[in-house]
Amino acid sequence: MSKILITGAGGFIGSHLAERCVELGWAVRALVRYNSKNQWGFLDRSPLAREMEIFTGDVRDFDSVHQALEGCRAVLHLAALIGIPYSYSSPLAYLQTNVIGAYNILQAARLRGLETVVLTSTSETYGTAQYVPIDENHPQTAQSPYAASKIAADQLALSYFRSFGLPVKIARPFNTYGPRQSARAIIPTIISQILAGRRVLQLGNVTPTRDLTFVKDTVEGILAIYQSPALVGEVVNIGQDREIAMGDLCHLIAALMGVTVEIGAEAERLRPASSEVERLRCDPARIKSRTDWLPRYSLEQGLRETVAYLQDHREEYKPDMYNR
């Protein structure tokens, strides 16, 4: 069987996706970023890593990507810079990884004649909701350099479909959470501070709403999009059609952990006013009508699994530091 290349396979969602593909019996080549220590991110401690072919390279390097795609029938592209605050400090890094990286994937896939290319997008491309729930026709508004880089990558991918017939699909998850997520995201930030004994939590803006999907459901959504012949050339949302304000989320997590907390604002954690995405709520009608995907995890179930993970890995988090 020819292989499926998964980029960003050492990361949060990518490692879960790579493991799931192995569980399905697929031949997986996992692209992880080259480093001198030969570290594979979360795949270092995955019992399924030995059943994958690990390829070290860099999506910013065309030669590396072209070589990684040799003998592959498809690519699931997740490698990206994703921290929004850091995109204010280094917009160029986001262009190099998210836009040039996408170009390298698309061009190499075109030259290799791949059957399917799935790019992973983000709900940040929509900006603050102009209507809810947000369907795939919602205007795209870049409120951060990160969002701008992802819009550019998405449009480049669609141009390759229209110009060259490259069988591209764009998976657009709303906010994903779960085990292995870094403390740059709000849920691990809340949990790690509570585990450290804090009862006044240092957070940013807690009025925005988000549509949260557990990582295993996001993975199944990406795979459903990959397997659907009806979605070539289309953007497909992955989400719940439910929203929760970040302040309410904080108190829900605290209740699940059996504590009461207060929320303190830390200026460093606030986005510039015009950059804050105030509301996100997904319309998942397209994925539900074109595939058999349905989310299996309630928010409470997913949060409990996430809390359990952080309890077992609390030494990997730095609750006293702001992780951008």
Domain boundaries, the chain: 3-176+214-238, 178-210+242-280+298-316
% of the chain at pLDDT higher than 70: 100
Which tens digits make up the pLDDT trace of 10-38?
A: 999 999 999 999 999 999 999 999 999 99
% of the chain at pLDDT higher than 90: 95
Q: CATH topology for 178-210+242-280+298-316?
A: UDP-galactose 4-epimerase; domain 1 (3.90.25)
Question: What pTM was computed for the model?
Answer: 0.97
Check pLDDT > 80 for residue 296. Answer: yes
Same fold for the pair 3-176+214-238 and 178-210+242-280+298-316: no
Confidence bin at 321 (pLDDT 50/70/90): confident
pLDDT at 114: 98
pLDDT at 322: 83
Average pLDDT over the chain, rounded to whole? 97
Residue 90 has phi, psi (to 5 degrees) of -140, 70
Tokens matching residue 147: 């969002």
Check pLDDT > 70 for residue 217. Answer: yes
User: Mean pLDDT throughout 177-197?
Assistant: 96
Q: What angle do CA 28, 30, 35 make, to 5 degrees?
A: 160
Which tens digits make up the pLDDT trace of 29-68?
A: 999 999 999 999 999 999 999 999 999 999 999 999 999 9
Check pLDDT > 90 for residue 205. Answer: yes
Q: Span 3-176+214-238: which CATH code?
A: 3.40.50.720
C-alpha span between 134 and 127 (Å, rounded) = 10
C-alpha span between 286 and 292 (Å, rounded) = 11
pLDDT at 267: 87
C-alpha span between 256 and 273 (Å, rounded) = 31
pLDDT at 168: 98
Which tens digits make up the pLDDT trace of 80-91?
A: 999 999 999 999
Confidence bin at 76 (pLDDT 50/70/90): very high
Helix/strand number for the chain, H first, E second? 11, 13
Q: Kindly state the greatest CA–CA separation across the chain.
A: 56
The edge-to-edge listing of strands for the beta sheet with 116-120 is 53-57, 28-33, 3-7, 72-77, 116-120, 168-173, 235-238
pLDDT at 323: 80
Please provide the DSSP assignment of 26-56 as one string.
--EEEEEE--TT---GGGGG-TTGGGSEEEE
Check pLDDT > 80 for residue 1. Answer: no
What is each CA distance from 121 to 102, 141, 184, 258, 300, in whole angstroms?
Answer: 11, 14, 18, 35, 25
pLDDT at 265: 83
User: Within 10 A of 32 (CB to CB), how many other CB atoms are there?
Assistant: 29
